[in-house]
């Protein structure tokens, strides 16, 4: 932004011998900027021109420096225009500057130099710490501006009306705006902002962002391990905590017992390696801050080792039916073999009988075999006898 850069036509002195037409223009300069103070002359006849500051001290006497202040410089002295500059303008330079022309009558014109002080980015002060369920009191402070800055509190793009107070500090003004907000846990970290607007800033704003700091008691939750735990497994319990301020550390305990020897605590995590059933119990995670304490518990049940149960389980599940079937089939097979054996033996015995008979009769000549066969009765009797 650029304020009319130091072109302050403070005094417009028009001197006309008979008709005096005098014009003055007031201009505003930013603090720290450079002001130009000009006297416009008409029909200048060589009279003495005197320029004075608001305290009526003579700055220049017809072009010659009178006051020892290097910030003032005579930059132009022509019959039509006298111009001085003032650098590093401060609010104490404000006031009427006199341009005087000493003639028969003394004519002068005064114009006012105004210094504008834009606000810095405001600050936010918290009166008391905010606790959930209570209220927070926030004060936005713009300690120095001229004319007074306008302060607005904004949350979620909406204005929160505040109680405004102004205090004059010499030529500048200190402005403050105070709001009170009810706060809950969910408001922790919520953004609010204070905007300072001012004519010298144009449409721009100086904005201070602030995040609500709402204190609340902790919450604690143990994240349990998935599935069941057996002897030899490792246990890892993590305690998830919230709270403002966040509790520094957590306490792990076992109700009515001490923590296992192998228990290791790192941060919010409890770890026990090689679990045994003696680790059964209720484990407690506790955390606290200035606003309260919280606890969560986890009941550990260590089941028998999977390795010890493995054979039993195999028989029960996978092998029970096949073994029965195989057993049945085997029994059937054995039974069949035995039956076959019995029949075979019986048959072979019978065959052997007839063979022996035949052999007995066949010891003779072939011709006699035929005879023996034809005379079966005798032969069979002979066989019977042999068998007996
Ligand atoms: C200049 O400022 C003075 C004092 O504030 C005021 O009285 C006067 O009317 C102003 N002149 C012009 C031309 O605005
Ligand atoms: C004032 O200064 C002007 C410009 O230097 C000069 O012309 C004029 O003579 C001076 N007047 C007197 C009375 O010294
Ligand atoms: C401007 O003036 C102020 C006091 O009014 C002073 O503190 C500062 O040093 C000055 N700056 C310069 C560049 O002279
Ligand atoms: C701890 O011991 C007390 C008293 O012996 C008993 O009342 C309580 O039920 C026990 N708690 C647990 C979790 O075993
Ligand atoms: C531990 O818990 C398991 C599961 O309930 C149970 O079978 C076992 O007997 C318990 N052991 C002891 C020592 O309490």
What is the pLDDT at residue 324? 60
Say what the pLDDT of residue 351 is: 67
Tokens at 42, concatenated: 């008409």
Distances (CA, A) of 67 to 12, 52, 59: 22, 9, 5
pLDDT value at residue 209: 97
Residues 6+ apart with CB under 8 A from 333: none
- In this prediction, residue 46 carries a pLDDT of 83
| Dihedral angle computed from the Cα positions of residues 194, 198, 201 and 206, in that order, rounded to the nearest 10 degrees | -10
Ligand 2 neighbours by CB, cut-off 6 Å: 46, 48, 62-63, 77
pLDDT value of position 167: 96
How many A from CA of 300 to the centre of ligand 3? 74
Interhelix angle for 366-374 vs 320-362, to 10°? 110
Cβ neighbourhood burial of 310 (10 Å; 0-12, 13-18, 19+): exposed
257 within ligand 4 shell (Cβ under 6 A): no
Q: 3-state secondary structure string, the chain?
A: CCCCCCCCECCECCCCCCCCCCECCCEEEECCCCEEEEEECCCCCCCEEEEECCCCCEEEECCEECCCCCCEEEEEECCCEEEEEECCCCHHHCEEEEEEEECCCEEEEEEEEEEEECCCCCEEEECCCEECCCEEEEEEEEEEEECCCEEEEEECCEEECCEEEEEEECCEEEEEEEEEEECCHHHCCCEEEEEEECHHHCCCEEEEEEECCEEEEEEEEEECCCCCEECCCCEEEEEEEEEECCCCCCEEEECCECCCCCEEEECCEEEECCCCHHHCEEEEEEEEECCEEEEEEEEECEECCHHHHHHHHHHHHHHHHHHHHHHHHHHHHHHHHHHHHHHHHHHHHHHHHHHHHHHHHHCCCHHHHHHHHHCHHHHHHHHHHHHC
* Residue from 254, 255, 280, 282 whose mutation best tests the ligand 4 pocket (most atoms within 8 A of CB): 255
Query: What are the pocket residues of ligand 5 if the criterion is a CB atom closer than 6 Å to any ligand atom?
Result: 277-278, 280, 301-303
Ligand 3 atom with the shortest distance to the CA of 92 = 5
Closest-lying ligand 2 atom to the alpha carbon of residue 77 = 4
pLDDT at 338: 85
Predicted pLDDT of residue 20: 37
Q: State the burial class of residue 298 (Cβ atoms within 10 Å of its Cβ: 0-12, 13-18, 19+).
A: middle
Nearest CA to ligand 3 atom 8: 88
State how far the Cα of 355 lies from the Cα of 226, in Å rounded to an integer: 82
Angle at 234 between CA 228 and CA 238, to 5 degrees: 85
Asked whether 282 lines ligand 4 (CB < 6 A), one says yes
pLDDT at 310: 52
- The pTM (predicted TM-score) of the whole model is 0.65
* Closest-approaching ligand to the CA atom of 303: 5
Ligand nearest to the CA of 304: 5
State residue 81's pLDDT score: 85
For residue 111, the ligand 1 atom closest to its alpha carbon is 1
Which residue, by CA, sits nearest to atom 4 of ligand 3?
A: 90
**Which ligand 4 atom lies nearest to the CA of residue 256?**
1
Residue 304 pLDDT: 87
Sequential pLDDT tens for the chain (388 residues):
443 333 333 333 333 333 333 455 677 899 999 998 888 887 778 888 888 999 999 999 988 999 999 999 999 998 888 888 999 999 999 999 988 888 767 777 887 899 999 999 999 999 888 999 999 999 999 999 999 999 999 999 999 999 999 999 999 999 999 999 999 999 999 999 999 999 999 999 999 999 999 999 999 999 999 889 999 999 999 999 999 999 988 999 999 999 999 899 998 999 999 999 999 999 999 999 999 999 999 999 999 876 655 554 444 444 445 566 677 778 888 888 888 888 888 877 776 554 444 444 444 444 444 444 444 444 444 333 343 3
Question: What pLDDT is recorded for position 14?
Answer: 35
């Amino acid at each position: 932004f650029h304020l009319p850069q130091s072109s302050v036509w403070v005094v417009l002195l028009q001197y006309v011998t008979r008709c005096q037409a005098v014009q003055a223009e007031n201009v505003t300069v930013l603090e720290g900027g450079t002001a130009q103070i000009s006297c416009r002359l008409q029909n200048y006849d060589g009279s003495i021109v005197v320029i004075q500051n608001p305290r009526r001290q003579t700055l220049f006497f017809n072009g010659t420096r009178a006051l020892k202040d290097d910030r003032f410089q005579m930059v132009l002295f022509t019959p039509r225009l006298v111009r001085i500059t003032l650098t590093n303008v401060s609010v104490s330079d404000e006031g009427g500057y006199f341009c005087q022309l000493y003639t028969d009558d003394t004519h002068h014109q005064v114009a006012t130099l105004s210094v504008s002080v834009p606000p810095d980015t405001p600050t936010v002060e918290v009166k008391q710490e905010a606790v959930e369920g209570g209220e927070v009191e926030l004060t936005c402070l713009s300690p120095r501006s001229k004319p007074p800055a306008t302060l607005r509190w904004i949350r979620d793009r909406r204005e929160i009306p505040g109680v405004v107070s102004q205090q004059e500090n010499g030529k500048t003004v200190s402005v403050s705006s105070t709001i009170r907000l009810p706060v809950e846990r969910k408001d922790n970290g919520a953004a609010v902002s204070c905007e300072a607007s001012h004519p010298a800033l144009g449409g721009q704003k100086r904005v201070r962002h602030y995040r609500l700091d709402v204190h609340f008691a902790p919450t604690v939750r143990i994240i349990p391990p998935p599935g069941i735990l057996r002897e030899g497994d490792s246990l890892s319990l993590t305690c998830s905590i919230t709270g403002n301020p966040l509790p520094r550390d957590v306490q792990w305990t076992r109700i009515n017992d001490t923590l296992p020897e192998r228990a290791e605590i790192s941060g919010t995590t409890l770890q026990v390696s090689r679990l045994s059933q003696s680790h059964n119990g209720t484990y407690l995670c506790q955390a606290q801050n200035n606003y309260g304490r919280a606890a969560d518990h986890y009941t550990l049940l260590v089941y028998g080792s999977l390795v010890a149960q493995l054979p039993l389980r195999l028989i029960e599940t996978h092998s029970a039916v096949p073994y029965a079937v195989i057993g049945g089939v085997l029994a059937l097979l054995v039974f069949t073999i035995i039956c076959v054996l019995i029949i075979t033996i019986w048959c072979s015995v019978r065959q052997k009988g007839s063979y022996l008979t035949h052999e007995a009769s066949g010891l003779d000549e072939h011709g006699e075999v035929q005879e023996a066969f034809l005379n079966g009765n005798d032969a069979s009797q002979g066989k019977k006898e042999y068998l007996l």
